Structure 1
């Protein structure tokens, strides 16, 4: 690697950083198991001796021929972290990382962000990630403890509530799988009486690179993490282990269902929520996973599923959605891990949940899932038009259209 760096004509500091990066990449693969790869390309770190800011949007980098100024096109996250540096809440590392992708060079900055001060929680929220939704059960600590408005119960907010976020992870996986399958079928050829799939063609790989499935998932993961950490709460989730989808895939019979399960970013959602909670000074609690979705949260009896994998029937004669049962049972388990003042409030709030509330919450979750399926368009994911197709707009009123 030193010889390769010498041929590029870079200073010795770059050679040291390149060798360090190559060793780190080699050791990480060696520790993970299997045969270590051959390191062919590295992204060297540039230490403080070889770079500095010329202005807010320009870098000065030292090369063998002297110093050269390079204009920056900063990402919006760059300005966010620079603002934190100015305010004293973050510290910029003295080294940057240069990475070349095709005809562009990216400069990657590293920041150490100080988390916000720990806040007094206003609620305890447990969430469960599913294929198309994220179900959240929330116990409001203030509403449970405050009894000032007992004289007018009609307007008192219930201490326990259920919220559903639509993520459409399974919907995206199903749609993009259908698109890739259609492209492969259209590019397949027949040679000597044998049909060759179009998956291995250059045109198929070029088309697949233009798909935005990963970016869409990442965007929705970030939005879910932002919504769950907007207010001071204690967040609770299952400890899923290293590979949570393996057991789910073993029970799935359909190949399409197995593909959708594999594409669900369960660990990504939990990890992003945990990181965002640490950044905003919120507490995050893991509880052990143990048949939460198959036990009635009111009667603690095992559920049966005669009508499908979603709705469970309790031996006491009422129905409950398995996602609702999961988040409520996670809250009960979390009461054992919390401080006594919070645990007592959570237990009291869950003790008031009855069969009628379970059926109402189950209907809400079912309605959200059915809406996802009903609005599944048969085209590639794209933004919806502001004007519905076929709408007639009078001349001169293009800016005052009222959709029906």
Structure 2
């Protein structure tokens, strides 16, 4: 199941807003206390924490709904587990996690879930607040109605947990929709390759290319090749220069008596200035743009098998620190995960192929390409030039064919098998006379110009095809008579 979260603004009067503020403060206090206890005593189980704290908070806050207390304890358990894991990896230096804000989780018992799901056009809901059930109106938008239509048609389900969150003094209700993967008729084959500043795409439309003529004449199967500009490398270079400028400006304020400087990146002033750069937001926007572009129509999507951390293997032989930084900042796995997620939503299928020599082999002649003065343009020994990004996506698409599987197995056997060990020995499973007979047949029946092995061009094979080409039944009958007379 796929999950999609949609935030809808609430129309909250002053009285209801005060109640929500009071619930949020109590909820935040419970989370902070439970997190501190869990980290200090290494108690990370939500069940154990609930047994320790539930009765205490239930008697301390009798007006607060019981399920809100349970959800606060569970949320504290998740925060404590995440903090302990980060501290184990050396990513956290503080003794306790700093919980600044929380999102209030209402279970189906704490809000009108059953009534909301049965409604055709829900515009209001009821929350269990300290004064009892309180009605709150929504301000739905286009995206909410899009997923709600899927709920009505049975393609999605609404999760029973409702999240209420405050941002910029506005209250939002976050609905979580569980989508069912679509089953669509695939209409194209798309192969994409992620680079530093672009995403190379090769697309083949199945309705217009897959027919008998294409099967007989492979040279007419021309994919559509184009690039999607992402500029991840340029974005990393720009923000690196901005961060270096901030560091140089802050250095005089953090000078030690011995003349050295404090690590500026660990200071609060540096983090306050860097958090307004919006680098991560811009990356996320470009990643989603690529995913939407590749999954517009249901397709077979092909990409390379990148592994868990592809950046580390890419920078092994790179000496320049600037290039290493740009490669590290390129979100290869984020693009792959976004495309995979969108593919399930739109009915596409994602396949991974080997990354071995995709951009170094000619996709037409399957020979090793030679370097030129341009890094992106390579030369085939046969005599033509190839863009290495286009060669990569075409080779990835070719690797999904049965011919590629056969060659892959044959190359692997030829590379791993010691042929001299079996030289001069016969196969005990196949008798020697049968081998001689097969060799004689293969040597006798060979392809020639008179009897080709594969049709070079599709021609009408019967009168029905002649009719489609412009002829008719009479033409076919005359052809038959003339053929009989000639014999």
Question: Please, what TM-score do these two structures have when normalized by structure 2?
Answer: 0.59
Shift, 1:182, TM fit: 1.4
Q: State how many pairs are aligned.
A: 335
Residues 12-23 of structure 1 correspond to what in structure 2 (within 5 A)? 12-23=66-77
Do the aligned partners of residues 77 and 307 (structure 1) sit closer, same or farther apart at CA in structure 2, a change above 3 Å counting? same
**What does residue 246 of structure 1 align with?**
312
Residue 161 of structure 2 corresponds to residue 91 of structure 1: no
Query: Does the aligned pair in 2 maintain the 1:306–1:313 contact within 8 Å?
Result: yes
User: 2:389 aligns to what?
Assistant: 323
- Map residues 4-153 of structure 1 onto 2, 5 A cutoff: 10-26=64-80, 34=88, 41=99, 43=103, 45-52=105-112, 56=122, 58-70=124-136, 72=138, 77-99=143-165, 106-119=172-185, 121-146=186-211
Worse overlay, 230-239 or 81-90: 81-90
Residues 200 and 390, structure 2, Cα contact 8 Å, conserved in 1 = yes
CA drift of 1:133 comes to 0.7
Distance in 2 (alpha carbons) for counterparts of 1:258 and 1:72: 48
Structure 2 CA distance for partners of 1:71 and 1:142, relative to 1, 3 Å:
closer
Residues 145/111 of structure 1: CA separation in 2 closer, same or farther (3 Å cut): closer
Structure 1 residues 243 and 73: alpha-carbon distance in aligned structure 2, compared to 1, 3 A threshold: farther
Structure 1 vs Structure 2 CA RMSD: 3.7
Counterparts of 1:4-403 in structure 2, within 5 Å, are 10-26=64-80, 34=88, 41=99, 43=103, 45-52=105-112, 56=122, 58-70=124-136, 72=138, 77-99=143-165, 106-119=172-185, 121-146=186-211, 159-189=222-252, 191=255, 192=257, 193-196=259-262, 198-305=264-371, 307=373, 309-336=375-402
Gap change, CA 1:124 and 1:337, over 3 Å in 2: farther
Q: Secondary structure at the match of 1:189?
A: helix
Q: Is the 8 A contact 1:92 1:109 kept in 2?
A: yes
Whole-angstrom distance in 1 between the partners of 2:205 and 2:335: 23
Q: After the TM superposition, which segments of 4 or more aligned residues of structure 1 sit over 6 Å from their partners?
A: 28-33
Say which structure is richer in strand: 1
Distance 1:201 1:143, change over 3 A: same
Say whether the 8 Å CA contact 2:398–2:404 is kept in structure 1: no
1:302, 1:328 → 2: CA distance?
A: 15
> What's the CA shift for 1:319?
3.2
Contact 2:297 2:346 in 1 (8 A): no
Gaps (5+ residues) in structure 2?
Answer: 1-33, 35-52, 406-455, 457-487
Check whether the contact 1:143–1:157 (CA below 8 A) recurs between aligned residues.
no
TM-score when normalising by structure 1: 0.70
**Aligned-pair distance for 1:200?**
4.0
Q: Whose radius of gyration is greater, 1 or 2?
A: 2
More helix by share: 2
Counterparts in 2 of 1:66 and 1:211: CA distance versus 1, 3 Å: same
- Deviation of residue 81 (structure 1)? 1.9
CA-to-aligned-CA distance 1:132-170 (integer Å, 9 cap, x gap) = 111111223333335789xxxxxx986322111111111
CA 1:238/1:14 → structure 2, altered by over 3 Å: closer, same or farther? same
Which region of structure 1 is more displaced relative to structure 2, 130-139 or 37-46?
37-46
